[in-house]
Amino acid sequence: MIALLQRDMRLAMRAGGGFGLGLSFFLIVVVLVPFGVGPQSALLGKIAPGILWLGALLACLLSLDRIFALDWEDGSLDLLATAPLPMEAIVSVKALAHWLTTGLPLILAAPLFGLLLNLPEAGYKPLILSLILGTPALSVIGTFGAALTVSLKRGGLLLSLLVLPLYVPTLIFGAEMARRGIAGQVATTPMLMLAGITCGVIALMPFASAAVLRVNLR
């Protein structure tokens, strides 16, 4: 399992798609928003948590099809399937690798991007905390979508269509938590809900992902 994780991490880094691409995409979204809504600092500060959450979500979505696509094409997914490792473990490791190469850099870069969007000072802690709690769920749910569409030639658009509705609860609670933190309200309820969703999908989603992967490998 650890070997698989290391392999996936190395592949993501050397292919130049992992850290760099997702982060650059995140940056571009953040840069484009002021052009779209105008440069007023007050407005930007108000919508900053939403923009950062949406940016994280889209950056995560962008790299989803890489989770299985390469392994599918060169047949290593078939080898993994016959390895003495349950499919559930494989998809979990894949999701973890995806989070380490996409979610984690986004969390680390989020304070900087918050600065660009004039995020109020009170917002940093809840925003970062909400991203830490929420992005693992994005990766795990995304792995399910990637497993679902792996056998399709041009599955990218369909992948977004399938995965984005599944992101709705995570996005709602994540952005709500950051918003409440900025407004100085108690953010415990959305925080607990967000953590609950993340724990729930980490526990249950690998079974669904493994099931669809088995169907696709049949």
Regarding 123 and contact with other proteins (CB under 8 A), the answer is no
Regarding 187 and contact with other proteins (CB under 8 A), the answer is no
Comparison of 12 and 213: residue with beta carbon closer to other proteins: 213
Comparison of 50 and 111: residue with beta carbon closer to other proteins: 50
Closest separation in Å from C-beta 147 to other proteins: 9
Residue type, 120: P
DSSP, collapsed to helix, strand or coil, labels residue 65 as coil
Counting DSSP H helices and E strands in the chain, the numbers are: 10, 0
Regarding 197 and contact with other proteins (CB under 8 A), the answer is yes
Show Cβ contacts of residue 212 under 8 Å, excluding neighbours closer than 6 positions. 144, 147, 148
Regarding 216 and contact with other proteins (CB under 8 A), the answer is yes
Phi and psi at 72, nearest 5°, equal -70, -45
- Please report, for residues 116, 119, 205, the alpha-carbon distance to residue 110 in angstroms, rounded to integers and kept in the order given: 10, 10, 27
Closest separation in Å from C-beta 159 to other proteins: 10
Comparison of 3 and 168: residue with beta carbon closer to other proteins: 168
Torsion of CA 132, 190, 168, 215, to 10 degrees: 60
Binding mask 144-183 for other proteins (x = CB under 8 A): x---xx-xx--x--x--xx-xxx-xx--xx--x-------
Torsion of CA 3, 73, 10, 26, to 10 degrees: -130
Binding-site member from 193, 195, 198, 206 for other proteins (CB under 8 A): 193
Phi and psi at 17, nearest 5°, equal -100, -25
Regarding 215 and contact with other proteins (CB under 8 A), the answer is yes
DSSP, collapsed to helix, strand or coil, labels residue 197 as helix
Binding-site member from 190, 195, 198, 206 for other proteins (CB under 8 A): 190
Nearest residue to 60 via CA among 12, 102, 19: 102
Q: Which stretch binds other proteins (CB under 8 A): 22-30, 65-73, 92-100, 209-217?
A: 209-217
| Residues near other proteins, by CB under 8 A | 144, 148-149, 151-152, 155, 158, 161-162, 164-166, 168-169, 172-173, 176, 189-190, 193, 197, 205, 208, 211-212, 215-216, 218
